[in-house]
Amino acid sequence: MRTKEGNKEQEILEAALRVFAEYGYPNAKVGKIAEIAGVSTGSIYVYYKNKEAIFIEIIERLWAQLVGQLRMIEQRTDITAIEKFDGLIDVLFDAFVDKPFLARAILNEFQEDINITKATYLEDYHEFLSIGKKVFLDGVAEGNFNPNFNVEVIKLFVLGGVRMLLHQWANDPQDLTINLLRQNVKYFCRRGILAQGR
């Protein structure tokens, strides 16, 4: 049996991201991924059963990374909930800052009819939302965030807005820079969710 070696798996995932971003999930071919990764098609199958398994692995790695980073921010005791909220925004944007192809591949596929609903990444996705919700509620408890907002609405609003902005940026990174988007999201959210007088 052939064994996995070196950074080949990472090269396959990076190649797959580029193929998914350029062709979309339905039109992506394992052979094209292999070509861009510089490996044989057979090598792909040492790691992954099919292209859906590759795509799910990419998403799982992304959400595991986001959860880990946000959890570290949320657990800090030396910063306020406002700073933690800023950290949440940073985590979302930083994941894509040098990888518009990652944003195109992943964000576009959420609009496709791909059957990934049973993927384990959903656990990390919901964990990310739970941590974000706690950050907001801690901000309310501190008196920093407006208690009149519904936390579920805030959650959907922020994530939906960030998703749309990242989608726009990924398709034209030169038009709106990711740091411009990041700062405007922070300013907009702060003006909206901070308690009066903050």
38 and 60 in a single domain? The answer is no
Q: Are 77 and 130 in a shared domain?
A: yes
- Indicate whether 36 and 65 sit together in one domain: no
Range in 12-21, 50-59, 187-196 the model is least confident about? 187-196
CATH number at residue 28: 1.10.10.60
Co-location of 79 and 4 in the same domain: no
Tokens at 83, concatenated = 């700073």
Counting every residue written for the chain, the total comes to 198
pLDDT, averaged across the chain: 86
Distance CA 132, CA 189 (A): 14
Task: Note whether 88 and 181 are same-domain residues.
Answer: yes
Q: Kindly write down the DSSP assignment for every residue of 63-132, as one continuous string.
A: HHHHHHHHHHHHT-SSS-HHHHHHHHHHHHHHTTTT-HHHHHHHHHHTTS----TT-THHHHHHHHHHHH
pTM exceeding the 0.85 threshold for the entire prediction: no
pLDDT over threshold 90, residue 19: yes
- Measured from the Cβ of residue 15, the count of other Cβ atoms closer than 10 Å reads 20
Q: Does one domain contain both 186 and 145?
A: yes
Which are the contacts of 18, defined by CB distance < 8 A and separation ≥ 6? 36, 101, 105
Number of domains in the chain: 2
- CATH number, domain of 93, equals 1.10.357.10
For residues 120 and 89, what is the distance between their CA atoms, to the nearest angstrom? Answer: 23
Judgement on whether residues 155 and 66 belong to the same structural domain of the protein: yes
pLDDT tens digits, residue range 132-165? 999 999 999 999 898 888 989 888 888 888 888 9
Q: Do 103 and 86 fall within a single domain?
A: yes
Both tokens of residue 10?
């990472």
69 pLDDT above the threshold of 80: yes
In angstroms, the CA 15 to CA 51 distance is: 12
Instruction: Classify residue 198: in a domain, yes or no.
Output: no
Rounded Cα distance between 114 and 25, Å, is 8
| Euclidean distance between CA atoms 33 and 27, whole angstroms | 12
pLDDT exceeds 60 at position 5: no
Domain that holds residue 34: 1-48
* Half-sphere exposure at residue 41, Cβ-oriented, CA atoms within 13 angstroms: 6
Q: Give the 3-state secondary structure of residue 145.
A: strand
Tell which phi-psi region holds residue 114, choosing left (phi > 0), alpha (psi between -120 and 50) or beta.
beta
